[in-house]
Every structure is written in C-alpha cells, then in structure tokens.
Structure 1
Amino acid sequence: MKPIHDWVGEPGAVTSWHPTRSTLAKVKDAPVSDVPVSYQQAQHLLAYRKHESSGTDMARLNIPSWDIPGRCDVRAMTHVINAYLRRHDTFHSWFEYVETDAGAAAGSGNIVRHTLTNPRDIKFAAVEHGQMTASQWRDHVLATASPWVWDCFHIGMIQREDHFTIYISVDHVHTDAMFMGLAFVEIHMMYNTLVEGAAPLKLPEPGSYDTYCREQHAYVSALTTDSPEVRSWIEFLQHNGGTLPTFPLPLGDPSVAYTGDVITVQLLDKEQGDKFEQACITAGARFSGGVFACGAIANAALTGADTYRVITPTTTRRTPAEFMTTGWFTGLVPITVPVEVDAFGDTARAAQESFDGGLDLAHVPVERVLELGAESHGLRPPESGVPMLSYLDAGLLSPGVIAEWQRLNGTIYSDSRSAYQVGMWVNRVEQETTVTAAFPSNPIARESVLRYLQAMKSVYLSVVEGRSVAVAAIAADAVDLDLKTA
C-alpha cells in the first residue's frame, strides 16, 4: 500500500467511467429499501458526517491500479465495468440521513437505504479528460464523491504509448480489503477475454451483500450484555479502561485533525521469513501468532507492559458465495497476549490461542458492545490513536492471481486524509515480509511509529537468529534500520 501522493508516472490521456444522466435520474427515484444498513456502513457514514461538520477530510478510498499492455478498448471496458457494477448488489444502493424526533442537536438520526429495483438501470459511460499529469490525475481520483452520494465509486484509465493503467476508486462504504483481488480478477479477466474475441466469462454466482446486512441485523439485534460474545468483548474493553486500547507512544496533539502518513519497513527477507515461520511452528503457533507475539514483545520492551492488547481485522465471509461478493464484510478480533519477553515461543502460542479463540467475535460490532455496555459497564467510545495490527499472507491467495498482479505492476493506494488510528499491516509475499503503518502526519507521530516499527523488526530478527530480545537496546532506540517510505 502506498499513499496516493506517491503515485507518479509519465503523463497520459485519462478516461473515466461515470453514470449516464438516465441512470442518475433512476437512482434519484430509487425507492426506500427495508434492507438495514450494515453496522460497518453506518459507522462509516456517521464518521464522515462528523468529519464534514468539523471541516476535516476523512480517509475513505480504496484505490487499486494495474497496467495492461496496448491501447484500451474502451467499448470492451465499458461492457466489463457495467457488468461488474450490476453483478454486485452493494453498488445498487445509496444512503440518506433522516433526522429523528430527537433532532440534530442530539446528534441522532436514521440512515435510510434507497435501492434500484433493476440493476440493468446502471449504465456507466466513458468520459474523456485529455492529457493529465500525475498531480492532475491524483486530484481527479481524490474527487470521488462522498459515501452519501450514490456514485461514490468510479473506474478510470490512463493511456500511455504502449500500455494503459486501469484504476478503481471506491469509497470504503462499499468495500473491504478483499475487494481489491476480486475486482482485479473479474475486471481484468473479463476484459482480456473480450478483447481476445471470446465469449464473456461465466463467473460463479456472487452472494448478496443485502442478505449479509439482513443476517447481521438479526444477529446484532438479539445481542445483550448477557450474550457470551458480548461479555468477552466487555472483558477486553474493561482492561483498557472501558474502551479500545491506545497506541503506547505519543502521536501529537489529539485535538488537531492531521492528514495521514504511511511508512513501510521490511521485517524479513525470504530466507528469514521461512526461518521465522519454522520458529512459530516449533512454538505450536502459525505465522500469524508470531506476528502478534512480536507486536506484544515490542510493546513490552518499549513500555514495560506485561500484557498486550490489540485489535485485528478479519473477514466475516464464511460461504463460497460470500467470498465472491463485493461489500464490507470485515470485523474486529480482540487479542490479549500475556508477554514473556525472553520466551517468544510461549508468547506466540498465547497469541495464537487468543486470535483463534476470538475469531467468532468478529461478527460482533464493537460499536454495538459500546452501546450496550455504556451504562451498565462504564464503556465509552475510543479515543484517537487506536492501534490495529493485521496480517496477510499472500501465499495463501491464488499464486496465479498474485503473479499476474505483480507482473502488471499492481499497486494499492490510500488517500492519506485525516487519520485517527495507527494501522499496521504485516504482509508476507514470496520474497519478503513487510509492515506498512498508517498514522497521523506530524513529526511526533512519525518518530513514535518509526520507533515502534524499529522495535518490532528487532524482535523479528532476534527470533530468526535464535537470540534473546535486546530489551535495553530497543528501549534506548539503538537499532539502526533501513527504513523506506511506502
């Protein structure tokens, strides 16, 4: 993942696809739907309103891009784009905020979903914008409409002499991280098939995000503070003063709305990654448990804390159809790790047990837990600076898809707008393991995050080399790392 301001390249002719006037008219008249808004969508939409009222710009766009040789067949790409948008029902809805009787002063209201009755009413057409420089196309992509506007997504391409770059800019309200691979496979494969003169691909039937929203609403509505999964979340939150954890190092003035910054650090090369995985297996854990253990030991070395608590995202998809569905299916798992700084194996095993044992908690929106336990258990909304640690092993994905993505210079960009949490994504690909961190863009936060990542890398290398973690050196910030910005 890279910040969008790092997206550079030679100028090119930009074409982007947007809804026709007829489509916009039908969307405007779309009836109210009885499908509830998912908890993820609701929190995102309300957060956007909060940012808007305070004059800040929320980080919200997922932007994958890749190169395709030759000249773009605009007609074929138009067909592919329309087929993709009609295929996934999350793109058939838009949202409206309606004040409740309590009124705006109470900050409450209802989010109403409007849904097109006929997906074939969706028709996007190509719009030519002429030559653009990198700064111009970045501004064009960042102009993607807000999540309160139906077409908060668009697809475009930048034509060069011997190739073109396709990009997708989609608001998070309709997507999660898995959308990147799904969209790449569907759009890229379908386009290649058409330009080669073959019949359109017969893709497996997707699931329905509407169905997911209904099922989630029914499940969440039945939760109480006596529900076992809610009690597990409450216990985790109460150990953090009734809310989510905060990053252990300073992040600057929390009252200031900073833009986002991104840093990537190589943790391990291929050989080191294989050794680290073997150390995890020997400990009775997997690579993921080792990731959380390294975060825990680094945290202990920096703060002296003997217990590490963090949240990690994971998909709530369960069926083959859901894995073929675009939408926001991500939930959070609370992880609690008792830390033994000099015993990586024990810490990794405990981390693995916590993660595996908490997977079902991803189906419980933490926001709902905070609502349920506000009065009875003293729970409160999180402060800024909530840390999140994620792990993705690209080797578990389709090797063919990963190879094609890399061959075509596939890249994921973030929009680097206001950032209130510290997200850390550990990604293992064939040649290396890296960690990418997103955080508030200010010198204090940058120094703190660099120090934290430095500590994490030191722990990883200690495990690989079979030596004790140099706690004193970590605490003194004495390790010199080869850092690279994403």
Structure 2
Amino acid sequence: MHVTSIDRYDIEPGTLTEWTLLPTAKTIKSDIPPSYNQRFHLDTARAHGFGRSVWMAGSLDLPGTLDRSAVRRTFEIFIRRHDALWTGFDVRPTRIERLIVPPDAVALRESDPVHFDDPVSLRAHLCTKFTVECDPLTFPAFLFATVERPTSSTVIAAFDHTIVDGLSLVIALRELRQIYELITSTPAKDDAQIGRALGDPGSFMAYCEAEAGDPPAEDGDPRIRAWSRFYEHCGGTAPRFPLDLGVEPGRPARQASDVRRLLDGPGAALLEEQCLRAGGTMFTGVLSAIGTALRREGGPLHLPLQFPLHTRHDHRWKDSIGWLTATAPIVVPVAAHGSFESTLTGTHASFRSALTLKGLSMEQVRRGVGEGYRRSRTDLFMVSYIDYRKVTCPDELRAMNAHHISNVTVCDDAQFWVSRTEDGVSLRSRYPDTATAHSAIARFLDQLASVFTEVIRNDIMTPAPAYS
C-alpha cells in the first residue's frame, strides 16, 4: 500500500470518467447521532469554511480493458453493502442531524469521458473534483473515478473523512476488486451470490448508535486520571509538535507534505530485529527514534504525542466502512545520558500503559476530563503506524498497485503517518507550508534518518552523551 498525498500521487494518464451518487428518493432523517469523530470533524468544517474537505482516497489497478457495465454494478453493490455511504448530515449552527438515502434508491450518474495526456493535469483535476464532491457538509460526500488505458485501468474511490478511516480504504479496495472479479467471472454471479461470497460487512450506523449509548466514565476511573495527567503535561490541551512551525495556534496555514521511504525492506527487518532484541516493537522503536531525533533538534526529554488505535474489536465491524478509531496518549522518555535501548525500554512501557486505556470512547474522555482539556488548535501532534503486511495479504495489495491518497488542505501542527510494507518503511508528513516549518521538518527528517541508520548499525544501542 503506497501512502501518499494527491500532489505526489503517481498515476498514469488516460481517459477519466467520474461516477457520482444520484439519489432517486428523498433523504429521511435518522435519530442516530454522528459518532464522536464525525461530530468533531463536522464542527471543524462548520467553523472553518476553508480547507474543510479532508478527503481520503484509495486506488487500485485492473488489467485489460475495463468492463464499464461491470464497474458501474461494482460501485452500486459496494454502496448498498455499506450504510456509511447511505448517510450524510444536515449541519446547522446549533445542531447536526443524520440523513439517510434508502439503499434500494442507489443509482449512479456517469460523467462524459475526458482524456488526459499527462499526470500533472490529471492530478490537479482529481484534487479539485474530490475537494468539491467530498465535502463533509454536503451529501453524498464521496465519488468514484476510473482512468482507462488500452491495457489497464485505475479505479479510485474518494471519501470525506466522516465516512472512512485508513483501514476502510484497504477494505474498500479489496471489496471493489472482489466484486468486479465476481461480476466478470464465468458464470457471472447475481447480487445475492456476491453478497454471500463477501460476507456481512456490519453496520457503521449501529456502531455510532452503540457509541452514543456509552455511559459517562465512573468517578475516579483510572483511565480518565491517566488522560487528565497527559493533558496536564501538555499544558491543558492536546500535544503539539515541539519545534517552531511558524504558525499561530488555531490559525491554520496551507498544508505542505513530504512523502519518503526511510528504510528499504532489509533495513526495516534489521531495525525490527534491534527493537525486538531490546524488548520493544517496531512501532515503539519508531516512536523512540522520533523522540531522539527531535531531542537532537532541541526537543524535550519527555515527548508527548497521540497515536490512533482502531476500535474494530467487535467482529461485527471488522469489515465495515466507517471511521472506527480512537487515539491514545503516550510520552516518549528520551534517555539523555543513556542509550537508545534505554529510550526504547521507557517508550515501550509507556505504550503498554497507553493500551490499558482501551474501552473508553473519546466522548467519554472529553466528558471525564472536563475543564482539564481545552481545544487550542485545529490539529494535534500525532504519529500513526500501520503495518500493511498484517492488515491484508501484501501480495494482493502489490498486485493491485494499491494507494492511500490524502488531500492537501490546511493545518496548524505536524502529523506523521508511518507505513510498513514488504518494500520497507515510508513516512508521509503533514505540516504548515511556512518557511519555518519547512526548515524544521527537513532538519527533523534528516535526524530521523540518521537515528535509524545508527540503530541498524548498533551505534546508539550503548550509552551516549546527552544532547543539549
């Protein structure tokens, strides 16, 4: 799975067709409220008229000539399977209501084909189109696109973040390919046969309803106390990237992005070997390296950040399309006078402690900490890690030429997505497009690469002098 942003998406040009939902029935109101993540996202979109389309897209390649009738049917079956795609929101100044289109009313509108001769103009068109169509304050907030060529085609599914998370994109790409292959196989399958072959995806609306029914955390809940201590460590707000990015909190600037491979396959294997030998994991090793690199640039000895966790623990939502994540707090304790191994030991202990906070929704956390948290910025300092070798069959993702594509919007903090595949470890960075931020992030990424090299060579697994 290639994790990238739209300005860096490597797509071969061809003939583009867009497929959008055309409701044939009126929407109806639902009593099911938005999830915490959805409400947070919609509140942000309502407050900031600019840069509000935080869409995510997945793409895959299909060999041969595209069967346009089959791909239309593929999209329609996929939409009917996932209730997150039937719903939108009526967002008013004082309320947010969920709207639903009955699944049997799903129909698609096909645009006139447009040929593109170069990837730059195609990327620019897709960015503009996805930003307009995947607006969280409109319905539908998703669309599909196909790019046809003589010997292959690319299928792209783009969604606003209210509809999907990162794992949803993997599920979507896998299902779209399976449905298309089932339709075009001999003998062709009817919709019921396809549904049975794929299995029940579960209901994201049921997930939202269950989350809304969560009771407030009990007084004295140790998990709330842990969150309160974390926010206190961060000054009563979310964690922030410790280097100056040249923006005022709450005043987002246009986003810049960086996508790079940090380690090749053998290098990633060596890093993991060192981390496991020291009693950690690949993820806690990456966090330790980030803390060490930032310390070398003047960052703190105790680095607070948040990391996402999926909430698909109930088997009902294992294959659901939706936003099923929470975040957990962690403090990376950089060993000033010790070794990287010492930093990793402390980080891994902090990570294990963070995992004990599972079971609390972010709504319960916000209620529980009360005045101990205030929102001071649009974004927060976050590091995400996905090992795509464990999410699905890596050969399947490679065969599909699968991509996770994100929009370029606005931000007032730095966020990082670390992904591991058979090809190694890659990093997508999101940060403000200011001269100060470009300089700070470039220095940090250079230091991070150096730390990885030193760990692999075992140069900093022994005590080293402190950095001032």
Which residue among 404, 408, 423 is the counterpart of 1:416?
408
Question: 2:291, 2:303 within 8 Å by CA — same for their partners in 1?
Answer: yes
Which residue among 55, 76, 83 is the counterpart of 1:82?
76
Tell me, which stretches of 5 or more residues in structure 1 are unaligned?
100-108, 476-486
Aligned to 2:159: 170
- Aligned 1:26-175 pairs, distance under 5 A: 26-27=26-27, 30=28, 32-52=29-49, 56-99=50-93, 109-116=94-101, 118-132=102-116, 133-134=121-122, 135-175=124-164
Q: Which moved more, 1:64-73 or 1:175-184?
A: 64-73
Aligned to 1:102: none
Aligned to 2:399: 407
- State the Cα deviation string for residues 207-259 of structure 1 (Å, max 9, x = none): 2112211221222x422563322211111000111111111111113265422
1:459 paired with 2:444, answer: no
Question: 2:53, 2:131 within 8 Å by CA — same for their partners in 1?
Answer: no
Question: 2:247, 2:253 within 8 Å by CA — same for their partners in 1?
Answer: no
Q: TM-score, normalised by structure 1?
A: 0.86
Paired letter, 1:122: V
Q: 1:139 to 1:383 in 2, by over 3 A?
A: closer
Q: 1:49 to 1:368 in 2, by over 3 A?
A: farther
Structure 1 residue matching 2:375: 3-state secondary structure: coil
Separation in 1, partners of 2:32, 2:204: 10
Separation in 2, partners of 1:441, 1:24: 42
Aligned to 1:265: 260
- State the Cα deviation string for residues 4-63 of structure 1 (Å, max 9, x = none): 12346554322221223xx25422xx1x222121000000011001111xxx21351111
RMSD: 2.4
Aligned to 2:330: 335
1:264 is displaced (CA, Å) by: 2.4
Structure 1 residue matching 2:357: 3-state secondary structure: helix
Structure 2 residue matching 1:336: 3-state secondary structure: strand
Which residue among 309, 330, 350 is the counterpart of 1:354?
350
1:398 paired with 2:398, answer: no
Separation in 2, partners of 1:71, 1:174: 30
Q: Which moved more, 1:86-95 or 1:254-263?
A: 254-263
Aligned to 1:106: none
Question: 1:225, 1:231 within 8 Å by CA — same for their partners in 2?
Answer: no
Separation in 1, partners of 2:113, 2:307: 40
Aligned to 2:21: 19
1:214 paired with 2:209, answer: yes
Separation in 2, partners of 1:148, 1:446: 31
Question: 1:67, 1:410 within 8 Å by CA — same for their partners in 2?
Answer: yes
Paired letter, 1:123: A
**Number of residue pairs matched by the alignment:** 452
Question: 1:233, 1:366 within 8 Å by CA — same for their partners in 2?
Answer: no
Q: 1:177 to 1:284 in 2, by over 3 A?
A: same
Which residue among 315, 319, 344 is the counterpart of 1:320?
315
Structure 1 residue matching 2:111: 3-state secondary structure: strand
Question: 1:3, 1:261 within 8 Å by CA — same for their partners in 2?
Answer: no
Separation in 2, partners of 1:364, 1:24: 39
Aligned to 1:4: 6
Separation in 2, partners of 1:10, 1:426: 25
Separation in 2, partners of 1:466, 1:448: 27
- State the Cα deviation string for residues 364-395 of structure 1 (Å, max 9, x = none): 455654455344x4x31143563111212122
Question: 1:309, 1:336 within 8 Å by CA — same for their partners in 2?
Answer: yes
Q: 1:251 to 1:403 in 2, by over 3 A?
A: same
Q: 1:137 to 1:236 in 2, by over 3 A?
A: closer
Question: 2:55, 2:130 within 8 Å by CA — same for their partners in 1?
Answer: no
1:346 is displaced (CA, Å) by: 2.5
Separation in 2, partners of 1:448, 1:366: 31
Separation in 2, partners of 1:356, 1:49: 36
Q: TM-score, normalised by structure 2?
A: 0.89
Tell me, which stretches of 5 or more residues in structure 2 are unaligned?
none
Structure 1 residue matching 2:73: 3-state secondary structure: helix
1:125 is displaced (CA, Å) by: 3.5
Q: 1:225 to 1:382 in 2, by over 3 A?
A: farther
1:299 paired with 2:294, answer: yes
Paired letter, 1:441: D
1:130 is displaced (CA, Å) by: 2.7
1:82 is displaced (CA, Å) by: 1.1
Question: 1:93, 1:114 within 8 Å by CA — same for their partners in 2?
Answer: yes
Question: 2:60, 2:155 within 8 Å by CA — same for their partners in 1?
Answer: yes
Structure 1 residue matching 2:205: 3-state secondary structure: helix
Q: 1:124 to 1:362 in 2, by over 3 A?
A: farther
Paired letter, 1:38: S
Q: 1:304 to 1:422 in 2, by over 3 A?
A: closer
Separation in 2, partners of 1:70, 1:473: 58
Structure 2 residue matching 1:303: 3-state secondary structure: coil
Separation in 2, partners of 1:141, 1:25: 24
- State the Cα deviation string for residues 129-151 of structure 1 (Å, max 9, x = none): 43245133443333214212221
